[in-house]
Amino acid sequence: MTKSKDQIALPLDWPQAQDESRFILSEANRAAFEHFRNWSLWPVKASLLTGPRRSGRSLLARTFIDRVGGRLFENADRHDEEELFHAWNAAQDSGKPIVLIVDEVPPAWQINLPDLRTRLAITPIARIEQPDDALFKAIIQLLFADRGMHIPDEALKYIGDRVERSYWMAERVVEAIDRFAIAERSRLTLPTIRRALGEGGIIDTRGAA
């Protein structure tokens, strides 16, 4: 299958993971993607990765670790601080990087262990932002494709113009439309999608044509 221009094009030495094509490259995540491509320039063999949940941050980090080795800590802010401290030090000794995925970075992530706090203060941060318009629509298309469904362009534009752009909202929108279409035995037409979003409480359709 030919990838769209917005989909990630991994370098040839990156592993061809089964789900790599699910990472859709856009301005919202390009800086984080480039950060991991240029990891040899990091000041230390460690990185913090933050961004909204469901944004592909785990996929990006796993693909990186699969390629270069090292350790990945998801929800690192819930891990034992002593364990993270020793893992950070081990990464510097071995040259194999450590990646910590967190919802918030310091100082919002309050670290009690002084030695860990000083090390994370010099650790670079990669951020994934909320989706831009192109990425939001591409995610919706992908989620519908997962269900064997195709959404018309006019319906996709209708959604993009009316709902909050977030990874969580993209999943909520697709779930609401799919459930409604099944219940009503309807195709994915614009009127169906308008009714689904209205009845799902996602948009206000009162007075809509």
Distance between CA atoms of residues 154 and 70, nearest Å: 45
Domain assignment present for residue 97? The answer is: yes
Could you list the residue range(s) of the whole structural domain that residue 192 is in? 133-199
Residue 208, pLDDT > 70, answer no
Give me the pLDDT at residue 184, please: 87
Residue 2, pLDDT > 50, answer no
Residue 136, pLDDT > 50, answer yes
Give me the pLDDT at residue 130, please: 96
Domain assignment present for residue 188? The answer is: yes
Domain match, 176 and 117 both: no
The band of 16, judged by pLDDT with boundaries at 50, 70 and 90, is: very low
Q: What is the pTM of this model?
A: 0.83
Domain assignment present for residue 1? The answer is: no
Q: What is the pLDDT of residues 20-67, one digit of tens each?
A: 667 899 999 999 999 999 999 999 999 999 999 999 999 999 999 999
Q: What is the pLDDT of residues 70-123, one digit of tens each?
A: 999 999 999 999 999 999 999 999 999 999 999 999 999 999 999 999 999 999
Domain match, 43 and 137 both: no
Domain match, 46 and 109 both: yes
Distance between CA atoms of residues 113 and 103, nearest Å: 19
Domains in the chain, number: 2
Domain assignment present for residue 77? The answer is: yes
Domain match, 31 and 121 both: yes
CA distances from 185 to 4, 72, 149, 199, 203 (A): 31, 44, 13, 16, 21
